[in-house]
Amino acid sequence: MKRKKSFLDGFTVFELMVIGLTAALGLASKPIVVPITHLITGPLFIPGGAVAGGIYMMWIVLGASLVGKRGAATLIALTQGLIVMLTGSFGTHGVVSLVTYGLPGLMVDLAFLVLRKKYVEPADFFLAGVLANLSGTYMSNLVFFRLPMLPLVLSLSTGALSGGLGGLLAYSIYKRVHKMIA
């Protein structure tokens, strides 16, 4: 009897390891980045989570670019959501974690799907980071914070800038890694 082909069959073991590693690095960087960001953004009344998000969303963008296949970013983000859901780390939001973590990955995949060229440009990474952090910031607001319009706009604006900068950082790392393995 022939086995039905799975979505994961489209990825090599090495690619799945990159997906798992970048998912883990994204989660591992969160408890380090968030408190440092709050020290800087708190006195300035800038939303710290939206700023910190650019750093840990960077791992989704980086992982997706290293794997280079459709669905890689979504798989990274869903892996993060599953880890958070199963371990209870970063709050106990249950199955909602799959949505709040999964949407940024989906947005990165959509960005790379629309922008995919033979040579990857920094602007592609910037936009992917912006979309990832915007969607993550918006979902966090929708599910947890429910900010009024002005603070929400400020949060989304700083999230967009931070996400874009995180995307550029992912581009820089991608270029170095790509240079080493080429």
Beta carbons of 136 and 34 less than 8 angstroms apart: no
- Does 33 reside within a domain? yes
Q: How many whole angstroms separate alpha carbon 33 and alpha carbon 52?
A: 6
User: What is the per-residue pLDDT for 74?
Assistant: 97
The pLDDT value recorded for residue 92 is 63
In a domain, 12, yes or no: no
DSSP letter, residue 68: -
Give pLDDT, residue 118. 56
Domain assignment of residue 31, yes or no:
yes
- How big is the chain by its Cα radius of gyration, in Å? 16
For the entire predicted model, the pTM comes to: 0.91
Give the count of domains, the chain.
1
Q: Is the dihedral of CA 9, 10, 13, 17 positive or negative?
A: negative
Gap between the Cα atoms of 86 and 134, Å rounded: 25
| Average pLDDT by stretches of 10, the chain with 182 residues | 79 96 94 90 80 94 95 96 85 82 96 77 94 94 86 92 97 93 75
**Residue 136 falls within a domain, yes or no?**
yes
pLDDT at 66: 94
pLDDT value of residue 26:
94
At 44 the pLDDT is 75
Is residue 19 helix, strand or coil?
helix
Residue 108 covered by a domain:
yes
The two three-digit tokens of residue 85, written as one number: 């859901």
H-state helical runs in the chain = 13-41, 48-67, 72-87, 96-115, 122-140, 149-181
Q: Which residue has the tokens 């073991």?
A: 13
- The answer to whether residue 120 is domain-embedded is yes
Look up the domain containing 107 and give its range. 23-37+46-181
Indicate whether 130 belongs to any domain: yes
Domain-located, residue 10: no
